[in-house]
Amino acid sequence: MGGEGERGTHGLVDPAGTERWLPVVMHAAFFLLLGASLARFLIRHPGEPRTPWIIALSAALAVLYVLGPAPGSRPTPRRLAWLGGVVATWMVLVVLAPSFAWCAVPLFYTGLRTLRPRAALVLVGVLTAFVVTAQVELSPDGFDPNLVLAPPAVAAIATAVFVQMQRQADRQHQLADQQRELIDDLLRTRRELAATERREGTLAERQRLSMEIHDTLAQGLSSQQMLLQAADRVWAADPGAARRHVRTAESIAERNLAEARRFVHDLAPADLAEGGGLDAALRTLAARESAESGSVEVRCHIDGAPTTPLPDRVGSALLRIAQGALANVREHAGATAAALTLTYLGDQVVLDIADDGQGFDPGALGAPGASVPGVRGHGLPAMYARVRQLGGSLTVESAPGEGTVLSAAIPLEPRP
């Protein structure tokens, strides 16, 4: 019967492991029993008038069985009509030759797969009752308890086995559905996690770029603005001073241009890219700040030497912190002197920036990384972010009228 191995939504179904071979076995059993019943009749009843009818009905039943439609999601009128024709033809054969009753076992299977569960069980009961009645009425020995009890027992066993397989199939299909849902959830979670990581990476990159721009280009532009404003104020009274301010602004613009080009490549500070490492870059920064500010003398002191080459990220972060701290000193502290001290302690490197300015109340910082009242832009929050990214710490010691000491400590070995 074409396609009977397919699973229906409303009909009883086989376990997944038997859906391929059980239909083949049942179809083969049907034709084997049909052929055996026909052979038995022809051997035991040769030349009877009913023989042509038996042969014709057997052939019709075989053709109907082969041409039957595949069971689908619901019993359609075509499927019901086909099953009714098969059952009716078989009943006539059983009345004419009781030995054809054994074909009922494969028909049980066909009915269970074609009909809805309740209708299929009703059909099994009807077929069983018909087999018992037909065999008792046609038995030459009269009433036989075996003819009454054996068919119901066989039908009950076949139905129970089939129902048990259906339950196992349902559980297997449920497990398969749950596994598919779990896999879908895992894939969806993985996609969401990847999207979250991409968003976090984008935000982190934006923050990093923001800090880089604040510590270099923004500070340079601010210095240029101050110098050009100063040149404008003394342009008529002191042309020499005005020209010095303009030349200093030009030098800052040149350095900012170098920083901008460095951003295009790898975002490393231009001072570090020139060679000499962090020590030389800090000395250059101190000398430049002293020359450009005019009012703040910046000194640089290096204590010790690194036991291993300083990682680029550490050197870049400390130089940016020094640039940001000196910018704050120049713009907000009102200091006359500042000092950069870089200390190598074996397992960590510490940068201290001290000034003799007006200071402030560290309690105004609030949580680490919070902005200081009166300080524009990123400033200290950017410094906190840099040292956190490298597993370090940043401390600020200050008091109104007593200057400020900022200390950044970064470990040189990964934390366990």
Per-position DSSP letters for 389-407, written without gaps between them: HTT-EEEEEE-TTS-EEEE
pLDDT at 9: 40
Token pair 């004419």: residue:
96
User: pTM of this prediction?
Assistant: 0.42
**Per-residue 3-state assignment (H helix, E strand, C coil) for 274-315:** CCCHHHHHHHHHHHHHHHHHCCCEEEEEEECCCCCCCCHHHH
Instruction: Report all structural domains of the chain as residue ranges with CATH numbers, in order of start.
Output: 22-143 (no CATH), 290-416 (3.30.565.10)
Q: Quick one: residue 276, left, alpha or beta (phi over 0 = left, psi -120 to 50 = alpha)?
A: left
Q: Would you write out the chain's pLDDT as a tens digit for each of its 416 residues?
A: 444 434 344 444 444 445 567 677 777 888 888 888 888 888 888 878 888 888 898 898 888 888 877 655 567 788 888 888 888 888 888 878 877 877 877 787 777 777 777 777 888 888 888 778 777 766 666 666 777 777 777 777 777 777 777 677 778 878 888 888 889 888 888 888 877 877 776 677 677 667 666 666 677 777 778 888 888 888 888 888 888 888 888 887 877 777 776 665 555 566 666 667 888 888 888 888 888 767 788 899 988 888 778 888 888 888 888 888 888 888 778 888 899 999 998 888 999 999 988 888 777 665 554 444 433 345 678 788 888 888 899 999 888 888 899 999 999 875 44
pLDDT at 330: 80
Q: Could you tell me the two tokens for 350?
A: 């510490």
pLDDT at 352: 93
Q: How many CA atoms lie within 13 A of 122 on its CB side?
A: 6
Triad 41, 46, 52: Cα angle to 5°: 75
Nearest to 3 by CA among 70, 52, 85, 87: 70
pLDDT at 408: 92
Which contiguous run of DSSP H or E holds residue 112?
helix 104-114
CA distances from 212 to 29, 293, 318 (A): 82, 21, 12
**DSSP secondary structure of 132-196:** HHHHHHH-TT---HHHHHHHHHHHHHHHHHHHHHHHHHHHHHHHHHHHHHHHHHHHHHHHHHHHH
Predicted confidence (pLDDT) per residue in 233-252, tens digit? 888 888 888 888 888 888 87
Written as one letter, the residue type at 13 is V
Predicted confidence (pLDDT) per residue in 127-145, tens digit? 888 778 777 766 666 666 7
Q: Using an 8 Å Cβ cutoff, are 162 and 108 in contact?
A: yes
